[in-house]
Amino acid sequence: MVTRKEVAERAGVSVMTVTRVINRSGYVSEPARRKVLKAIDELRYIPNKTAVSLVRRENSKMIVIILPDLLNLYYMQLVDCMAEYLSAKGYGVMLRKVTPKNNNEVLKELIAGRVSGVLNMAFYPFDEKLVGMMAQYGVRSIYMSAELFNVEIDYAPAIEEAIKRAAARGVKRVGFLRGKDFLEVIRIKNIKKCCEKYGLEFCNDPMLISDYPEGDSFYCGYEYTYEFLKSGRRCDLLFCLNDTMALGAVKAVSSSGLKVPEDISIIGFDNILTDLYVTPTITSISTDVHEQAEIYASYLCGAKEVMVQNISTRVYYRESFPE
């Protein structure tokens, strides 16, 4: 493996001169510089960043985004935006999928690899000890687990607006198709409260509790909605935990011989692009991805020291919601 030393020898200078050329630091004479450049080219030398960050006691300029699910476009849209922002600041962005099982292990691995920052978009709870370790090893982090988070997405106003509007259009019963547990408890509360406020009935049926994320979103959306309707139960407006679930729900409604939005209105969360690809297009509640990405990114690459942000959302009205 080619190292600085070999380059130095071939160029007939010392290692430091090579370093100076590579890092554009300090003075180096033009002839020396040229010899070094030539040697680098001939030897096809690429510096070892690993060694650099070791000696500089810096973490590698790498931000890792931890995801529970690579197939959810919402995450990808966010990552996409963040990548743009972060690469401009000289950071690389990488994705890492985790499961509830290897959750903590992966985090530890990332600390061991001394990355600069971690954005945890998986909602799996993880060792508080590890969180402390992140800080200790200079790994900045944003996490969104149930107990432990430093950023909160505020769905309340958007949910209220949607429900108010639905009430004005004659909606009576509201359902929420969700997963087993997790963060959505907050959303349930919001929906329930708004239903009371606007005199709607919140249909808290156990048939609307799917086994996401074990089952995949679309399957859960389809299957649970289908069974719900088949059993003769009804609601006029169905919130779905995420948009892919909403896609499944829409398909289930039409499989049941009903129509969206005439018979049932559907609202998803996250505003993924697929919402626009299908017929009817899907109404969705979500943050502004760009704004969210910028908040995350600027924190992760060290702009601000503290951070307990509240990120706002809005409703993107589309065909799955009555005019």
Partner DNA sequence: TTGAAAGCGCTAACAG
Partner DNA sequence: CTGTTAGCGCTTTCAA
Name the site residues for its own copies (rule: CB under 8 A).
Answer: 1-2, 44, 46-51, 53-54, 57, 60, 62, 64, 70-71, 73, 76-77, 79-80, 83, 87, 92-97, 102, 106, 108-109, 111-114, 129, 132-133, 136-138, 216, 218, 244, 247-248, 251, 254, 273-274, 276-279
Give the residue, chosen from 1, 101, 170, 310, that forms a contact with DNA under the rule CB under 7 A.
Answer: 1
Compare residues 52 and 188 and give the one whose CB is closer to its own copies: 52
CA-CA distance, 176 to 240, in Å (whole number)? 6
Contact status: 151 vs DNA (CB under 7 A): no
Q: What is the DSSP string of 45-57?
A: ----HHHHHHHHT
Contact letters for DNA, residues 276-305 (x by CB under 7 A): ------------------------------
The answer to whether 271 and 316 are in contact (CB under 8 A) is yes
CA-CA distance, 193 to 199, in Å (whole number)? 10
Q: What is the DSSP string of 280-318?
A: SPPEEEEE-HHHHHHHHHHHHTTS-S---EEEEEEEE--
Q: Treating both helix axes as pointing N-terminal to C-terminal, what angle do 4-11 and 15-23 enclose, rounded to 10 degrees? A: 110
CB of 11: closest distance to DNA in angstroms? 9
CA-CA distance, 82 to 310, in Å (whole number)? 18
15 binds, among DNA, its own copies, none (CB under 5 to 8 A by kind): DNA
Maximum C-alpha span of the chain: 85
Q: Which 3 state secondary structure label does DSSP give 20?
A: helix
- Contact set for DNA, span 47-76 (CB under 7 A): 47-48, 51-52, 54-57
CB of 170: closest distance to its own copies in angstroms? 26
The CA radius of gyration of the chain, in Å to the nearest whole number, is 26
Contact status: 17 vs DNA (CB under 7 A): yes
The β-bridge partners of 97 are: 67
CB of 258: closest distance to its own copies in angstroms? 14
Compare residues 26 and 302 and give the one whose CB is closer to DNA: 26
User: Near DNA by CB under 7 A, which window of 24-32, 87-95, 253-261, 263-271?
Assistant: 24-32
Contact status: 19 vs DNA (CB under 7 A): yes
Contact status: 138 vs DNA (CB under 7 A): no
> Which among 227, 310, 323 is positioned nearest to 283, based on CA atoms?
323
CB of 189: closest distance to its own copies in angstroms? 29
Q: Which 3 state secondary structure label does DSSP give 265?
A: strand
The β-bridge partners of 170 are: none
The answer to whether 66 and 37 are in contact (CB under 8 A) is no
29 binds, among its own copies, DNA, none (CB under 5 to 8 A by kind): DNA
80 binds, among DNA, its own copies, none (CB under 5 to 8 A by kind): its own copies
At 323, list the tokens.
Answer: 């005019």
The footprint of DNA (CB under 7 A) covers 1, 3-5, 13-17, 19-20, 22-23, 25-33, 47-48, 51-52, 54-57
